[in-house]
Amino acid sequence: MRPVLLRQAAELSFNSGGCVKFDLKAWSEQLHMAQLELGNLLYDRKVELADTQTVKNYVVDLHNLLGESTLVERKSFIRSFDNWK
């Protein structure tokens, strides 16, 4: 955050008796933009959330797949997330 904006927020908060809240979850600009994009998609209802049972089934399937895979296959699977966009 820019120091000038921080000072203005702190002064406004102090003068009005309010508080200053910062979102520390977005450590990088890229992460913050992805978070905003996902929020907008959910708000616009372009993304449907899976029900709990579907998610549980995916977790069980993934657990079984990784349990049956070789170490090389598991490492390759995990590394595939590094290039995901």
**What residue ranges do the domains of the chain occupy?**
3-43, 50-85
Alpha helices in the chain (DSSP H): 3-16, 29-43, 52-68, 71-79
CA distance 42 to 40: 5
Q: What is the pTM of this model?
A: 0.39
Average pLDDT over residues 51-79: 91
* Residues 6+ positions from 66 with CB-CB distance below 8 Å: 74, 77
Residue 73 has pLDDT above 70, yes or no: yes
Q: Which residue has the higher pLDDT, 26 or 62?
A: 62
